Amino acid sequence: MIYIVEDDAEVREMESYALKSSGFEVMAFDCGKAMDEQLKSELPKLFILDIMLPGEDGLSILKRLRSQENTRNIPVIMLTAKGAELDKVKGLDLGADDYMAKPFGILELISRVKAVLRRFEKGGVTEEASLISLGRVMIDDKRHTVSVNGIPIELTFKEYELLKLLIAHPGIVFSRQQILEKIWGIDFDMDTRTVDMHVKTLRQKLGEQAFLIQTVRNVGYKAE
């Protein structure tokens, strides 16, 4: 099941028709409030959220979904106006899994949906929980929490995924492009400086354990 939240009736119908024609079950809503009612009875495999919505906007909905236990790990694709770079960055920081600028083609939408679902099915919420640690940093992947010296710290969804990627592979160097592909998706066209920005904020939150995230000059990053 895919949930679409889009206030433009024509766009909403187009998205629904395209996905249904590709074999997906779809429920479409014109606002977050209507979607919330349906969430009480059924969780989707994917959310598609427009950013510009009446009342609660898409970014606020995304933030709320990422803060709730039952929807925290469900993938989200954000839709926004072409060239709205700030919205794109905000969405990624809040934990969006992909981003599409309007107008977009039907085939692109279907391709993006399938790609996100493939990544989710390979390692989403069905993956067996485990504890991952390095130095004094502990990740509880079952509870999706991180602690430093036993003290919990708050990370955004992407910061969490980045930290988990590096700590789960100590000593392995990941290029910025590899990180983009693994965390944001292989089809994602994005400036690699986004990785540097996330590493910077991650180090700040790790405090005295920031040294674990090491820069490999002209290549990328590793945890060691």
27-47 pLDDT tens trace: 999 999 899 989 988 899 999
Q: Judge whether 53 and 28 are in contact, CB under 8 Å.
A: no
Topology (CATH) of 2-123: Rossmann fold (3.40.50)
Spatial neighbors of 139 by CB under 8 A, at least 6 apart, are 131, 132, 133, 145, 146, 160, 163, 164, 167
Rounded to 5 degrees, φ, ψ at 22 are: -95, 10
Instruction: Give the pLDDT band of residue 17 (cuts 50, 70, 90).
Output: very high
Pairing mode of beta strands 145-148, 26-29: unpaired
- CATH 3.40.50.2300 residue ranges for the chain: 2-123
pLDDT tens-place string over residues 130-151: 688 888 898 888 778 899 988 8
Q: How large is the average pLDDT for residues 1-29?
A: 93
DSSP state of 180: I
Class of domain 131-223: mainly alpha
Q: Judge whether 2 and 44 are in contact, CB under 8 Å.
A: yes
Q: Judge whether 76 and 96 are in contact, CB under 8 Å.
A: yes
Q: Judge whether 130 and 141 are in contact, CB under 8 Å.
A: yes
Instruction: Give the pLDDT band of residue 106 (cuts 50, 70, 90).
Output: confident
Instruction: Give the pLDDT band of residue 84 (cuts 50, 70, 90).
Output: low
- pLDDT of amino acid 123: 47
| Alpha-carbon span 43 to 74, nearest angstrom | 9
- CATH 1.10.10.10 residue ranges for the chain: 131-223
